[in-house]
Homo-oligomer: A and B are copies of this chain.
Amino acid sequence: MEYQKALRQLIEEFKTNFMPSVSLDLAIFGFHDGQLKVLLLRWKGTDDWCLPGGRIRHEENLEVAAYRSLQQRTGLREIFLQQFHTFGDVMRYTNFSKQETMAKLGLPEDITEELVSRDVSVGYYALVEFANAVPTPDFFTEECRWWDIDQIPPLLFDHNDMIKLALKTLRRQLSYQPIGYNLLPDKFTMPDIQQLYETILGQTLDRRNFQKRMLGYNILERLEERKTGGAHKAPYLYRFDKEKYEKALAEEILFVG
């Protein structure tokens, strides 16, 4: 069977090129239509969804591996990517009916053992511009698409918990780091970025206070008007001042009280 042959070959390649026992998982957040989304993969021939993951090459930095994996799933580079926790419970595989899923995939038992043996996994979360991403499945999966954050189904492994913790970390991060550079188009309005914040935080914010705070950070530059299709008064357009933005990210203390 052609598929199994390819599979065995892939596993061989894994064994020679990648570190055993360690993997990484990605919670890739996108923003569209006032909704926060997460990128999920569906395994071939099943209805089982999970987070995209990756492995680390023997001579590759962990962070580089995370960026590489992110690019393989979305086509994107130079994205906000942040490690948030490392998961190492043995139990995180119980939620996952190994035999069942593997059987659906048509995998013999010895391969199953190899493939889903217990790993320690480093969790990263990423923020990407929804429109620019090209969701791409990998060898084991046949579908890769965005899910609304509040409509995520029960996932394989401990991936529901991962998303929960990633989101929690992201929300905390939002309070002391600027976010938005990779989530918004080059030019955007104040209502745009406010909606982004409100979506991530899951709560509404005062228009005036938000603007005051955001401008206070000193990382935005205002352009001219915009009228496009929008009815009503045309809001200003803004753009991130890349240099100041990076500086703020590096300092990281900027927004702490």
Residues of A whose CB lies within 8 Å of any CB of B are 19-22, 56, 58-63, 65, 83, 85-91, 118, 120, 122, 257
Contacts and interface: CB of A to CB of B under 8 A. Distances in A.
A61 B83 contact: no
Given A19-B120, A120-B22, A257-B257, A85 B83 contact: yes
A56 B20 contact: no
Contact of A62 (B19, B63, B120): B120
B86 A61 contact: no
A58 B22 CA distance: 12
Contact of A90 (B22, B61, B90, B122): B61
A245 to B, nearest CB: 22
B61 A91 contact: yes
A59 B93 CA distance: 12
B90 A63 contact: no
Contacts of A91: 61
A83 to B, nearest CB: 6
B122 A86 contact: yes
Contacts of A62: 86-89, 120
